[in-house]
Amino acid sequence: MTISIGHRISHMARPGSILLWLIAAFHMLLAVALLAVIFSVTHADAAEDSCAGKNLLTELQQNEPARYAEAVREADGTPNGKGIFWKIEKPGLKPSWLLGTMHVTDPRVLNLPLRAQTAHDGADTIIIESDEILDEKKATASLLMRPDLMMFTDDTTIEKLLSAENYTRLEAGLKQRGIPLSAVSRMRPWMIASAVALPACEMARKAKGAQFLDQKIAADAAAEGKQVKGLETLAEQLQAMAELPVEFHLKSLIETLELGAKMNDVVETMTEIYLSGDIGLTMPMLKTVTPEGSDEDNDYAAFEQRVILDRNKVMAERAAPILASGNVFMAVGALHLPGKEGVIELLRRQGFTITAVN
């Protein structure tokens, strides 16, 4: 399978791009959730249960026990891979709290664990990835001031980047999601891929005004008169994706379409992993979605550095002075927490003691 990129041909024999995009989609939904607002995408007739999927890990355990065991071993070796709720302490300060979030509107996710809800209610300050999500109209306006991050500002269109075959597949895939291709023809591939990666039920709930978890946490805090602070701007989030090569995004776009209805299974599996708190299993699970083979090392290195590691550093550095006041409730995407360069380890290096809360 190939895609035409100008006069070049990019071969997609290896599965790295789809793995990376699925991770990116759930990192960047804070920004791409505004897609429905920006382009007036509505799914009023979409069934709320149309995203019903199955847990791929259950299937994997039954059909490929060795591969399942390998995924579990990798997860068990991930630092801070167990737990989504953490206590942050430093001598002389009231304890603060850290919640790993999933940027979705699923009611199961919105229902915070009791101890997390209690910590949220008792905190003086709430930290989220971007406080711009409190006002979607304002956030949309600020993003539209940087059209280069979302759209081609020259005469480039998606039709000029894709082969005729892949362009037709893209048109059909978007049509299934209620998105007219004419509305997105000048959009950068990663923005289109965001719409493709979002399951129909998520788009339907967002179009009807449902809040995703981070939004709800921030809105509830603001309604209670609490101070809400953001660690990034939406433009910064978009910039991280925009800086990756267009070839990577084109591959991700087409491979995401190839996933088709299986995307519902992926989202369901990610949700169940999240609810179990075993977030270290997310990456190994996503690897099982694609055929076995070597990941595209260069793609992964660039992606990991720009979208995960760089942003982890920004979050930890900007959160530290806020946490220094104590009694803070911090909520950022769960995939930012684990790992040697995850937010938890970076905050520990700044002198905070962080322990998982069951």
Amino acid at 150: M
pLDDT in tens, 14-31: 334 555 555 555 555 555
Q: Give the range among 15-24, 154-163, 277-286, 315-324 with minimum mean pLDDT.
A: 15-24
Q: pLDDT digit string (tens) for 303-314?
A: 778 888 999 999
| Number of independent structural domains in the chain | 1
Most confident of 63-67, 140-144, 182-186, 290-294: 63-67
Q: Kindly indicate the confidence band of residue 7, based on its pLDDT and cuts at 50, 70 and 90.
A: very low
- Pair of tokens at residue 24: 């990116």
| In the chain, beta strands by DSSP E | 2-5, 8-11, 85-89, 96-101, 125-128, 227-230, 328-333, 353-356
pLDDT at 284: 85
343, 140 in Cβ contact below 8 A? no
Average pLDDT, the chain: 81
Higher pLDDT, 180 or 60: 60
pLDDT of amino acid 34: 56
**Within 10 Å of residue 246's Cβ, how many Cβ atoms?**
16
First to last CA, the chain: 46
Could you read off the pLDDT of 178-199 as tens digits, one per residue?
678 888 888 888 777 776 777 7
307 vs 329: CA distance, rounded Å: 23
pLDDT > 90 fraction of the chain, expressed in percent and rounded? 42
Q: Which two tokens stand for residue 180?
A: 């007219």
Q: What is the dihedral of CA 139, 141, 144, 146, to 10 degrees?
A: -70
Section 200-218 average pLDDT: 84
d(C-alpha 249, C-alpha 335), whole Å: 20
**Weakest-pLDDT range from 12-26, 163-177, 244-258:** 12-26
Q: Supply the pLDDT for residue 300.
A: 67
Q: Which domain holds residue 99?
A: 2-356
Q: Which residues lie across from 280 on neighbouring strands?
A: none
Residue 31, pLDDT score: 55
pLDDT tier at 158, thresholds 50, 70, 90: confident
- Give the range among 93-102, 290-299, 329-338 with minimum mean pLDDT: 290-299
Across the chain, which distance is largest between two alpha carbons, in Å?
64
Higher pLDDT, 173 or 101: 101
* Nearest-angstrom CA–CA distance, 81 and 335: 9
Secondary structure of residue 349 in the 3-state scheme = helix
